[in-house]
Structure 1
Amino acid sequence: MSILDMVREAGVIGAGGAGFPTHAKLASKAEYILLNGAECEPLLRVDQQLMRMFPDEIIKGFESAGKLVGANKALIGIKGKHKEVISILRNRIEELQVGDFIEVKEIPDIYPAGDEQVLVHELTGRVVPEMGIPISVGCVVVNAETALNIYHASMGVPVTEKYITVAGDIPKRLTVKVPVGTPVIDVLKLSGIENFDDYTVIDGGPMMGPVKSDVDGYVTKKNKGFVILKKDHPLIRKKSVSIEQAKRVNRSSCEQCRMCTDMCPRYLLGHSTQPHKMMRALNYALKNVEEQKIAQLCCQCNLCELFSCPAGLYPKSANLYFKGKLAEQNIKYKPMKSEFTTRKSREYRLVPSKRLIARLGLHDFDRPAPMTEVQVNPEEVHIATRQHVGAPAVPIVNVGDHVELGQQIGKIPEGSLSAAIHASISGTVVECGNDFIVIRRG
């Protein structure tokens, strides 16, 4: 079995949050393969620790991925502030004698350094075109944890566990490894909090992660972290505003200062996205659909809404509003050119992570979340059939079947973009539906 087939069978997906099936990405041919070790979302600590703990495995998985895509060069992008990790990686690259292929490149401590298109530019100087993906400029990007999972797949080990940071206004900040399908509440309680009545949970990083309506749910292969804050924290109040509420606020206060546009990471890369124009179209009920199409270029990094706007308005929500309207009409933006250059002002408008953290009101919580050996042994796991981009996995087990840890329980539908799923504990299948396969331990 080829490495690509092993990655496919192991159910490897983008572990950084996107969840794109890795076997489909590695079927491309590229000049560069890039390892995203930026982890630019505030408070999350998974990738930097994995690169320190498992450098050989990550390097070998990354090398395998690079060979699959036929890359001439493999570049690891990591923020320059992580001096220890950089030193470890460079030392292991030399010891493993792969320095002619793999190189560590330091990137600035900015947000969103981990955005694929920003990372591509920081590492290669290339700009991904509008509506494009990294392969458009000869690049394939994989996350650090994904590279680790590629290595495991090459050893015949499927993805059954997930590394997650638990951070925020909590007694105990930590990063843990838990079985896929673990109840989220079991992970949250590792924070030292038992009663969450006064708290709200952000699923993911504080910038792009959505606010959870409750503490229910189950860990998937896409989860990266949970940020727990008091319900009255300004960030929670801001992120809890509905699009309808945001529209009303925008109409009442926007003065068209265009700071949302001038600091937009995609605009600074040379793209046409201009959130201030979406604010204008919303506020004055403008009907020009052609101008509204640029809303589809928004990457939803949330910088405009949570940092750039001096009045604390909701430019991203305006973008989302028009994206939704255009999608309903099946109207799509078409780029007018294929090559892009960064705007001259870009180097002066990059947002340092420390300034962003202070603006979010998270300075007091920006502390280590050390990798911690914790036994999380749920009696039942709920393994989602759709925890990746594409079609849901098709169950290949039935209620009453006994399954072993690592056994495949859901396959890729014929001819579809999807990913396989595996049992994360040994036990008995007690439910098997279109959304979840539930396994009870023992």
Structure 2
Amino acid sequence: MNLLDMVREAGVIGAGGAGFPTHVKLETKADYILLNAAECEPLLRVDQQLMELNTDEILKGFELAARFVDAKKAIIGIKEKHKRVITRLEERVNALQLQDYIEIKKMPDFYPAGDEQVLVYELTNRIVPEGGIPIQVGCVVLNSETALNIYNASQGMSVTEKYITVTGDVPTPLTVKVLIGTPILEVLKLSGIHNFEDYAVIDGGPMMGPILENLDGFVTKKHKGFIILKKDHHLIKKKSLNTESAKRINKSACEQCRMCTDMCPRYLLGHSIQPHKMMRAINYSVTDIEGQKSAQLCCQCNLCELFSCQAGLYPKLTNLHYKEMLAKLNLRYKTTKTQLETRSMREYRRLPSKRLTIRLGLNKFDNEAPFTKTQLTAKTVAISTSQHVGAPAVPAVSVGDKVEVGQTIGKTPENSLGANIHASIAGEIIKIEKDLIVIRGE
């Protein structure tokens, strides 16, 4: 098998974003391949620790992917503040004799440096078209953990484990490696909190992560972190508001200051998105949905809601409202721009991460979350068949079957976008539901 086949068989997906199947990204040719090591969300610590602890494996996986897509250059984008990690990377790049192929580019510490379109511009000076993807400007983007999983796939290892940061208002912030399918509640308890009656949990980073509706779920390949905060924290209250309530608040107070637009990362790249116009449209009950198509350019970084708007309103939810309406009507934004240029003020409107963390009320929780080996072993795991972009995996096992670690238990439907799933423990298949395959350990 070539690398593409090995990555497909191993079920490698983007390890932290939407979960796009990685083998699809390798089916192309590119000028550049970029390693997204920016980890721009406050409080998350996975990528930086992986880069330090698994340096060689990540570099080798990155190089394998780069050579496969015929990239003329492989570039690692990492924030300049991570000096220790950068030193380690430089040492190992030289030791592996990759210094002429892999370049380490240091980035300022701003949000959202890890947005893939922002990253492409920062590292290559190319601007992804409106509504487009990086390959349209000759770039493939992977994150650090995905590169590690590509290396593991080249060694015949499937994706059965996940690295997760558990942090927030907790006694013991930490980063751990757990089996896919582990009950989320068991992972949360590693933080030292055992009674969650007064707490809420953000699934992912504080900017883009939603609040978990319940804690009874299971770890998937996409999970990156869990942020535990008291229910009365203003960030939890802000994220708990529903769209209808947000619409009423927006109508009562938006003064069209346009700060949501002027600070928007995609607008600053030259895209046509203007959240203040979406706010205007909803405030005046504009029914011409055609005029709101630019809402589809929103990357939902949440900067407009959680930092830019001085009145504490909800521009992102307004964009999302129009995106959902447009999707129902099967209407798509079509760009008329043949050439994009960044806005003149972009350099001065990149939001420092520390300033954002203070605004979010998280500065006292912005602590180390050191990688910790845990004795957490799941006796039963529940593995989702749809933990990736695309069609759910089709079960390749039946109730009563015995499985081994790494065995394929769900396959991508034929001629569909998707990813295989694998057993993370040895045991017996005891249940197959609509979205879960449950394994009881031996």
TM-score (norm: length of structure 2):
0.99
Q: Deviations over 1:261-316 (max 9, x none)?
A: 00000000000000000000000012333321111110000000000000000000
1:116 to 2:116 alignment: yes
> How big is the shift at 1:128?
0.3
> How big is the shift at 1:15?
0.3
4+ residue segments displaced more than 6 Å: none
The residue number in structure 1 matching 2:362 is: 362
1:74 to 2:74 alignment: yes
In the TM superposition, 1:76-155 aligns within 5 A as: 76-155=76-155
In the TM superposition, 1:23-62 aligns within 5 A as: 23-62=23-62
> How big is the shift at 1:51?
0.1
SS in 2 for 1:62: helix
Write the letter of the residue equivalent to 2:345: S
SS in 1 for 2:318: helix
SS in 1 for 2:266: helix
> RMSD across aligned C-alpha pairs, in angstroms?
0.7
The residue number in structure 1 matching 2:286 is: 286
> How big is the shift at 1:331?
1.0
> How big is the shift at 1:375?
1.5
> How big is the shift at 1:348?
0.9
Distance 2:261 2:349 in 1: 11
The residue number in structure 2 matching 1:295 is: 295
Write the letter of the residue equivalent to 1:174: L
Write the letter of the residue equivalent to 1:14: G
> How big is the shift at 1:426?
0.5
> How big is the shift at 1:339?
2.3
The residue number in structure 2 matching 1:378 is: 378
The residue number in structure 2 matching 1:421 is: 421
Q: Deviations over 1:129-182 (max 9, x none)?
A: 101000010000001000000000000000000000001000000000000000
The residue number in structure 2 matching 1:353 is: 353
Aligned length: 442
> Which is worse superposed, 285-294 or 313-322?
285-294
1:399 to 2:407 alignment: no
> Which is worse superposed, 431-440 or 183-192?
431-440
> How big is the shift at 1:68?
1.1
The residue number in structure 2 matching 1:431 is: 431
Distance 1:198 1:87 in 2: 42
1:206 to 2:211 alignment: no
Write the letter of the residue equivalent to 1:143: N
Distance 1:40 1:220 in 2: 21
SS in 1 for 2:305: helix
The residue number in structure 2 matching 1:2 is: 2
Distance 1:288 1:420 in 2: 42
Distance 2:161 2:339 in 1: 40
Distance 2:78 2:133 in 1: 20
Write the letter of the residue equivalent to 1:87: T
Write the letter of the residue equivalent to 1:80: E
Write the letter of the residue equivalent to 1:94: N
1:22 to 2:6 alignment: no
SS in 1 for 2:373: coil
Distance 1:338 1:118 in 2: 19
> How big is the shift at 1:89?
0.4
SS in 1 for 2:75: strand
Distance 1:313 1:36 in 2: 31
Q: Deviations over 1:210-244 (max 9, x none)?
A: 01112110000000000000000000000000000
Q: Deviations over 1:26-47 (max 9, x none)?
A: 1111000000000000000000
Distance 2:429 2:331 in 1: 44
In the alignment, structure 2 segments of 5+ residues that lack a partner are none
The residue number in structure 1 matching 2:254 is: 254
Distance 2:338 2:11 in 1: 34
Q: Deviations over 1:188-212 (max 9, x none)?
A: 0001011000000000000000011
> How big is the shift at 1:114?
0.3
SS in 2 for 1:281: helix
Distance 2:111 2:411 in 1: 37
Distance 1:378 1:250 in 2: 45
SS in 2 for 1:205: coil
The residue number in structure 2 matching 1:193 is: 193
Q: Deviations over 1:347-401 (max 9, x none)?
A: 1111000000000000000000000000211111000000000011111111111
Distance 1:179 1:278 in 2: 42
Write the letter of the residue equivalent to 1:421: I
SS in 1 for 2:327: helix
> How big is the shift at 1:16?
2.1
The residue number in structure 1 matching 2:218 is: 218
> How big is the shift at 1:17?
2.1
> How big is the shift at 1:335?
0.3
> How big is the shift at 1:434?
3.2
SS in 2 for 1:414: coil
TM-score (norm: length of structure 1):
0.99
SS in 1 for 2:391: coil
1:13 to 2:13 alignment: yes
Distance 2:418 2:195 in 1: 37
SS in 2 for 1:75: strand
> How big is the shift at 1:327?
1.1
Distance 1:230 1:433 in 2: 33
Distance 1:252 1:339 in 2: 38
Write the letter of the residue equivalent to 1:253: A
Write the letter of the residue equivalent to 1:325: M
